[in-house]
Amino acid sequence: MRGRRRRLLERGVESSRVYYCILATLAYMLVVILFTRNTYLLLLTPFITIGSSIIYSIIARYMFYKRIDQKFIQILSLLYGFESIGLHLNDLFNVVSREEVEVDHVYRVIARDYMVLERIYGEPLSALNQLSRRYRGTRFSKFLSGYLDILSTTGDTLSYVENCVEEELNILYNKSLSLISIIENFYESYLIILMSIMVLSGLPMLGVFTGIVHAVLLICGLIGYSVATYISKNLYYNESIAVVGLSYFYIVIACISPLVMSVFNSLALLTLFMVVSIALSRAFHSWKLSIEDCLVDFIEDLYSETRHGFSVDRAIIRLSLKENTLYKPLVDGLSRLLSLGLTGSIVASKVDTSPLVQESMKLLLTPIEYSSEHERHVGYTAKFVRRLFSIRYNITSRSRVLYIYTLILPATVYAIVYGLKAISSPMLPVNPYPIPGYIVSASIPAWIIASKTTNGYGMNSWKNLVILVENLALYLATSL
């Protein structure tokens, strides 16, 4: 059955290539027929087909290698659990190739490559060495080279893997900080755009560019929110697709509605939309967040049980008997699945909660099938989760300043534009009336981006209403 699934996966990749080539060829023929009407250009169709196939291969290879580095922390974390019970990388690849452990598809492909190389060379070291050469240029390949050196000398691969995990977490933290710096640049762009509009507000032709200004603000909002979403996924947050879609739609409405209705009506519509979005988001995510909040307590209690000699599955059952624990819904679900005789990796994949909890359960439950000593890998999982929470906290602390920027932006712009209006003259006229629409289009998406960056769940908090109340109060105060 697993072999059949593997063949279907490979066949799906090939069929994607075929579909891509067919679409590229048909698009070329359509352009030639409709626009150039030069039938001689149709002779180039075979070259277009071949070229599109080559381009597809290059893009697919690039995306594959990029994903190897993106998901490297996942395989590295699992490997540390295996190393803590005396197994090595070749053992992990063996169980991954048999689909006993759920990992990202790129590492399933790598595991199958390893199995082929092991059959060719007859021993693990040569197979891992060839695997390192095959995926040269990735952090995974660099790790393999060091791993082989340690394996063939001191043999202390556990310490090496632990150091590599810490290094990957540092890379994750530094990458998140650099992305936050990019978002801060978007906040500066909001202020630059609005200041430029105020300087030019007296020009009679400015009204022609109103739609363009809103379009630029919309692009800034969408790109900024996309970067914030990328940060949150790297930190194991994961809003549902429906809520993410609502967030993008909300940014679009915030940038477009001032063009088609008054600012007051626009703010009323956005407030109603926000209330509905918050309610939906909390319905989807609040219970997941409550489990995340008590995840460290659960793992530490589990670690305490394993130190007393209980296996992980037995310890989970014991914890499920305790009353009034915040993590009781989680342990009840785990103990029920374990009592059915399911393997640890399958139980971990069935946990319907946030990615951080799923990853933690995978680290806790996957190695229990291969060892009776569970204390060390549970201790590592506790350390890994605490480190991730520390990174989250540091990122949250850094990104809170975005809220301050957003709150200051509307008040600053209103103060400046009405100061300019007070000193305006026929020679230097000021037209402040389009400015409130620009402020709405800039400040409200900026607040959603800040919320998404700070805690990964942009639409989940009632504090999102603060920016709407501020905009409404400033608009009414300056309109009186």
Domain boundaries, given as residue ranges, for the chain: 2-69, 77-155, 172-291+395-479, 294-389
Asked whether residue 249 carries a pLDDT value surpassing 90, the answer given is yes
Confidence class for position 469, pLDDT limits 50, 70, 90: very high
For the chain, give the mean pLDDT: 80
Half-sphere CA count of 336, side-chain side, radius 13 A: 8
Nearest to 385 by CA among 235, 171, 161: 235
Q: What is the mean pLDDT of residues 373-382?
A: 82
Residue 138, Ramachandran bin (φ over 0: left; ψ between -120 and 50: alpha; else beta): beta
Average pLDDT over residues 53-67: 74
* Residue 414 pLDDT class (50, 70, 90 cuts): confident
Paired tokens of 147: 């791993």
pLDDT of residue 334: 84
| Mean local confidence (pLDDT), 107-115 | 87
Supply the pTM of this predicted model. Answer: 0.79
CA dist 99 and 2 (Å) reads 8
DSSP for 315-339?
A: HHHHHHT-SS-TTHHHHHHHHHHHH
Helix axes 295-307, 263-293, angle to 10 degrees: 10
Top-confidence residue, 55 or 476? 476
State which of 66-75, 165-174, 246-255, 333-342 shows the largest mean pLDDT: 246-255
pLDDT at 128: 86
Contact present, 474 and 414 (Cβ < 8 Å): yes
Contact between 134 and 113 under an 8 Å Cβ cutoff? The reply is: yes
User: What local confidence, expressed as pLDDT, does residue 90 receive?
Assistant: 86
Answer whether residue 379 shows pLDDT above 90: no
pLDDT at 86: 81
The residues near 169 (Cβ < 8 Å, ≥ 6 apart) are 73, 387, 388, 391
Q: Determine the pLDDT at residue 11.
A: 41
250, 298 contact by CB (below 8 A): no
CA 71/CA 141 separation, integer angstroms: 13
pLDDT of residue 271: 93
Question: 47 vs 35, 50, 54, 55, 417, CA distance in Å?
Answer: 20, 5, 10, 12, 59
Mean pLDDT of 287-313: 85
Predicted pLDDT at 466: 92
| Pairwise CA distance, residues 337 & 343, whole Å | 9
Greatest mean pLDDT among 83-87, 146-150, 372-376, 411-415 lies in 146-150
pLDDT of residue 431: 57
> What is the rounded CA–CA span in Å between residue 252 and residue 222?
8
Kindly state the tokens that stand for 141: 């390949």
> Does an H or E element contain 360, and which?
helix 355-365
Tell me what pLDDT residue 6 has. Answer: 43
Which pLDDT value is given to residue 364?
84
